[in-house]
Amino acid sequence: MVNISINKPFKPLLIGKVGKAYGILGWISVFSFTEKEEKIFKYLPWFFYKEKKWTKVQINNWKKHKNNFIVQIKGISDRSKARKVTNSDILISKHKLPSLKKNEYYWNDIINYEVFNVDKHYLGKVTSLIRTKNNDILIIKNSLEKFNKNILIPFIENQIIKNIDTHYKYITVQWN
């Protein structure tokens, strides 16, 4: 039997960020980027990425703390070791996410989709999304010189977002 140790995620997906050390026993603050923040703990194992170096980590314990979490990582037992992982990105292998049905998508999948309005005018590419209290927002970048600005489009399905084509990777919007 061959024992293969994976030290880097397959198709890495960013799900959080390591904050500062918490206390003297090696706990660290963690910021979740998942839609429901506690779901970050369902996608294990985690990989920390900092300064072009990957580290696979195992969580011993975690707690909700104020608006984020504090986490105890196996092998990190004091504040000085915890400081070494501060500002690391937290990534997982993308296949850890639940499977989707046809025409469903994860937000990270629509990054780089082409965006057209209903009149078939090209608006640009999706560069990121912003979560707000009322509705989410698509950030579109058009590289044409005369439109070299970001376009912010509210992500309101059926009203503004008319179609998301996951096969051809484009989005149609009601936008001028």
The verdict on pTM exceeding 0.85 is: no
Closest among 135, 119, 137 to 127, alpha carbons compared:
137
User: Could you tell me if 131 and 153 lie in one domain?
Assistant: yes
Of 96, 129, 145, the one marking the end of a domain is 96
Q: How far is CA 79 from the centre of its chain?
A: 27
User: Could you tell me if 19 and 48 lie in one domain?
Assistant: yes
Q: What is the CATH number of the domain that holds 164?
A: 2.30.30.240
User: Could you tell me if 78 and 139 lie in one domain?
Assistant: no
User: Could you tell me if 115 and 138 lie in one domain?
Assistant: yes
- Grouped pLDDT means (10 residues each) for the chain, 176 residues: 66 93 96 90 95 95 94 96 96 90 82 94 91 89 74 93 92 93
- Whether residue 2 is contained in a domain is answered as no
Q: What is the structure's pLDDT at 130?
A: 87
User: Could you tell me if 86 and 119 lie in one domain?
Assistant: no
Structure tokens given for 122: 């090209």
User: Could you tell me if 78 and 29 lie in one domain?
Assistant: yes
Tally of structural domains, the chain? 2
